[in-house]
Amino acid sequence: MAAEDEVRLRWRLEPLDRAARWHLPLARGWAGLRRRRRLRRLIRPVWLRRLGTALPGGRRAQAVAVFEDGTRFPFPCHDRYWAKRLLVGEVYEPELLTLLWRLRALPYRFLDCGANFGYWSALVSGPALGAHPTLAVEAAPDTCAHLRLTAALNGDRFAWRQAAVVGRAGATVAFTDGGGHYGRHLVGVKAWAGEAAARVEVPAVTLDALLADACLQGGPVLVKLDLEGAEGEVLAASGVFARQDVGLVFEDHGGAGGWQAVRLVAKHGWRLFRLVPTGLHPLADAAALPAPRATEEGVNFLALPPGEGPFAAALAAASRTPQATEVPS
C-alpha cells in the first residue's frame, strides 16, 4: 500500500476583506521571516505577528487560499496556526493529503470530527479530491463560526455541525474556550497541560450518532478524528469496530495517554498504518512506538478493519498505478 511520490497542492492567496489588502503583505513578511534563521536572530517573527494583530483591522483581516480546483479556505491573516503555513506555500499535513489523493476515486463519505476551520472538509468535498459528501463537526463556538464561513465560500457543498464528539451521550459537555483554536479540547482529557480558565458548555454527540446521519449513508465512511486527546475514549465507547465499511484516520498524541488510541485499535485486530508524505508505513506492533513524552506530539494514523474492505482495495489499486505529484484542477 505504499507509494513513492509525495502529492503536492498549489494555491494562490487573496484578501477576503478590505483590511486584508494591506495586512496580507505584512503577514506574508512575518511568515517568511520564520524561514530565515539569520534574520530571526535580529527580528523575531512573533513580534511582527503581534504587531500586525494590534494594528487597526489586524484581528478581523482575513485571507483566502484559493486552490486550483476552486476550493476556497479562509483564515485570519495573522493566525499563528494557519497563516504561518499557507502564507509561505507550506502544504498542511502532506501525509494526509497523500492518503486522500489516493482514495479520491472511491465513492466514500467523509466525517471530519474536530474540523477546526474546515480545511479538510473543503478539500475533500471539492473536485480535486473526489467531491465526497462531507459532514464537518467542530465544538468551539468561534471556531465553528469560521467553519460556517468556509462552507459558505464553497457554496455550502459540505454539511457542518457544532458539537463536541464524546464517548458518553449527553446534552452538553464542558469544553475549553481559552488559548488558540488549534488546541481547544474537552475539559479533563489533557491532564498534563492543565485546564484553561475559560470554558464553555457545548452540544455533545457520540461517534455512533454521527455515523447515523443521513449525510453519511449509502457508502463507506472515512472517519477523521482530531479530538486533542479524546480519540481513544470516543473510539472505545463506539460501535465502529464492528463495521467493515469504515476507515479511521486519527491523531494520537502519545504523551501522558501512552498511545491510547493506537493500542485500542490494535486490540480490536484492525490494521494500523502510520501516515507519511510518501504513503503508508504498516505498524505491526503498537508496542514498537516510542515511549510517551511529557508533552504530546500528534501523529496521524490510518486504521482499517480486518479483511479486504473498500478502503484497503482502493489503496491497493492506487499503489499499482502511477501517482501524480501535483493535485490537478
- 10 alpha-carbon distance from chain centroid: 18
State how far the Cα of 59 lies from the Cα of 209, in Å rounded to an integer. 36
State how far the Cα of 47 lies from the Cα of 40, in Å rounded to an integer. 10
Beta bridge partner(s), residue 159:
135
Q: At 46, which amino acid appears?
A: V
Question: Of 289 and 269, which is predicted with more confidence?
Answer: 269
Residue 1: the pLDDT is 36
- Using DSSP's 3-state secondary structure scheme, residue 250 falls into strand
State how far the Cα of 159 lies from the Cα of 70, in Å rounded to an integer. 18
In this predicted structure, the answer to whether residue 47 has a pLDDT above a threshold of 70 is no
Question: Which residue is listed with cell 513524552?
Answer: 293
Residue 193: the pLDDT is 47
CB of 234 closer than 8 Å to CB of 139: no
Task: Quickly list H helices, 43-192.
Answer: 45-54, 83-86, 94-102, 119-124, 141-153
Share of the chain above pLDDT 90, in %: 51
Residue 192: the pLDDT is 43
In this predicted structure, the answer to whether residue 265 has a pLDDT above a threshold of 90 is yes
Task: Quickly list H helices, the chain.
Answer: 20-33, 37-42, 45-54, 83-86, 94-102, 119-124, 141-153, 207-211, 231-236, 260-267, 310-319
Express each pLDDT in 178-222 by its tens digit.
556 556 555 555 554 454 556 777 888 999 999 999 889 999 999
Residue 198: the pLDDT is 67
Residue 262: the pLDDT is 92
The domain spans of the chain are 10-90, 92-319
Overall pTM surpassing 0.75 (yes/no) = yes
Residue 328: the pLDDT is 43
Cell of 220: 463507506
- Using DSSP's 3-state secondary structure scheme, residue 180 falls into coil
89-to-8, 11, 136, 253, 256 alpha-carbon distances in Å: 10, 8, 25, 26, 33
Express each pLDDT in 94-121 by its tens digit.
999 999 999 999 999 999 999 999 999 9
| Element holding 317 (H helix, E strand) | helix 310-319
Question: Of 273 and 188, which is predicted with more confidence?
Answer: 273
23-to-52, 58, 90 alpha-carbon distances in Å: 7, 7, 19
Residue 187: the pLDDT is 53
Mean predicted lDDT score pLDDT of the chain = 83
Cell of 31: 511568515
Highest mean pLDDT among 190-199, 273-282, 283-292, 318-327: 273-282
Express each pLDDT in 225-258 by its tens digit.
988 778 888 999 999 999 999 999 998 876 666 7
Share of the chain above pLDDT 70, in %: 76
Q: Does domain 92-319 have CATH number 3.40.50.12160?
A: no
Residue 56: the pLDDT is 76
Confidence of residue 32 (pLDDT cuts 50, 70, 90): confident
Residue 20: the pLDDT is 87
Residue 274: the pLDDT is 92
